[in-house]
Each structure stands twice: as structure tokens, then as C-alpha cells.
Structure 1
Amino acid sequence: MTSNTPENPYGQPAPQAPYAQPAPYGQQPAPYGQQPYGAPAEDPGKTLGIVGLVLCFVFSLAGLIVSIIAKKKSTAAGFKNTPANVGVILGWIFTILGLIVAVIYIIAIVALLNNPGLVSN
């Protein structure tokens, strides 16, 4: 910024403070008292959401729990965690399907134990 004042009659740029670092090429220096922009914030539940999604395929109840925790962490930080959302949905679906299959197996075992004639030797 140049100015024609009695102290600066030729409009020379004002000298910067001796401790100021020059701005990298193509960037404007940060105003004094402010920090320059850094890297964007990282989602705290991102990795946990991916782990929860993968875990849904192996052990659905644990995947559901981990995905819910990841979703809550991301929501609290203001992020949308798509792997955690998918993990919650798949966790519920696989848990319900697992319970249905378990009930069918139990019914089949009880039916076979009560009717030994159903099993042919």
C-alpha cells in the first residue's frame, strides 16, 4: 500500500516488520494478528466410519455400534460421514437378517428334536 505523506513523499511501500516472513508466490500475506489459512479440518470419525462399514460385513452388531459412534463423532464436529451412514444402515439390515436366520435355525432344531421321524436314517 503506498501513500504520499510527509514521511513518505515518493509513495514508497511501507517497510514490513523485520520478523514478518514473505508470502509464498501467489499468496497474499496474512494480516498482522491473524494466522494464515492452514489445511482443512479433518473429520474425526472418518477412519472409524470406514472400520464400522467393513466390520458390518464380518460381525454386523459390532459394525453397527462402531458406525453409530463414528456418525456421532462426525456430526458433533460438523461433518457428514457417508461411510458411517452406510455402516449404520447395513448394520441394522444385517443384524435383523441374522436374528431372523437364528430364529429359523432354532425353530428347525426344536422341530427336529421333537419329531425324530423327520430325520431318516
Structure 2
Amino acid sequence: MTDPQNPNDPASNIPPAPPAYGAAQPQYGSSPQPQYGAAPQYAAAPPPAYGAPANAPVPGRTMGIIAFVLSIVLSTLAIIPLILGIVALVQSKKAGRGNGWAIAAIIISAIAIVVGIIVLFALVIPSFSAASTCIANPDATVTVWGVQVPCSEVVNTTP
């Protein structure tokens, strides 16, 4: 092996002699190479900067993701993901961070609530109105979604 500091030195080209038969083998980790001086001492690391580390978890992010998933899965019970999304957004804002999952959950839940109210007024309330008219006057004819229906078909009193 050549000495990188002095490649032309013939003494550095002679490999070390192998140990004699039966002699103790060198221990694992021990090095026959020359030991160098002590490792240089470096200055201590500076103190950490104020504020949260760059990769710290965002408060409310997990709740925001849960609210997002629930806003899609539980569109009929949209109030639950709406509340979770608002709580997650408030937690994130207190920490000075944004939370897109919570904002998406709030928007989807609000749209689901509005659609649910429209469906309630468009489908359910006219049916109740027809039923209440037929209960008051069983011989009448009512209009249900543009179709004339006799009350005997709307309210069936026979089991």
C-alpha cells in the first residue's frame, strides 16, 4: 500500500508481515494502522431558533383530515364534520398555521347542509302537506309533484 503523502517512498510499498502460525489474531476493530492525533474540537451548535421546528406537526391537521373524510362519507349528517372542521381550523389558526383539510371539510359540509335543506323543502314538506290535507278531508284529491292523486292512495287507513 502506498503512502498518499509520499507515493515514491519504497518503504511505504512493503505490506505488513502476516502473524505467525498459532499466534493470537488481532481483535475485531483493532487497527494495525497508525493512530492519528485527537479529533479536532468543534464549536457547540447554536441554540435553536424561536418558534416551532420546521417539521413540527400542525395542530388540528389530523382532526381536519377526519372532518374532511366525514364530510364526504356522512353527507346526511353534515353538522358533525362541520363542527370538527371548525374546531380543527381554530386550533391551526392559534398555532399560526393553515389547514386546508379543515377548510375543505367546512366547505363540503356547508354545501351538504344547504343541499339537505333544499331536498327537505322540495320533497318532504309537500308530502306532509298532501298527507295533512287528506287526513282532514279523506274524499279530496291532492296534487303531489304535479300529479293528481286521490286521498285514498295518499293516506291508506286500512292495514
1:98 aligns with 2:116: yes
Give unmatched runs, 5+ long, in structure 1.
1-14, 17-21, 23-27
1:76 corresponds to: 94
Supply the distance in 2 between the matched residues of 1:82 and 1:38 (Cα, whole angstroms). Answer: 20
Q: Which has the higher contact order (CA 8 A, sep 6+)?
A: 1
1:94 Cα deviation (Å)?
0.4
1:29 Cα deviation (Å)?
4.9
Q: Any residues of structure 2 matched to 1:1-121 within 5 Å, and which?
A: 16=41, 29-31=44-46, 34-35=47-48, 40-57=55-72, 58=74, 59-113=77-131, 114-115=133-134, 117=141, 118=149, 121=153
1:39 Cα deviation (Å)?
6.2
Q: Which amino acid aligns with 2:63?
A: L
TM-score under structure 2 normalisation? 0.51
Q: Secondary structure at the match of 1:43?
A: coil
1:7 corresponds to: none
Give unmatched runs, 5+ long, in structure 2.
1-39, 135-139, 142-148, 154-159
Report which of the two has the higher share of strand.
2
Report which of the two has the higher share of helix.
1
Which is greater in Rg? 2
Cα deviation 1:52-89 (Å, max 9, x = unaligned): 11111212111111001001101110111011011111
1:6 corresponds to: none
Identity %: 31
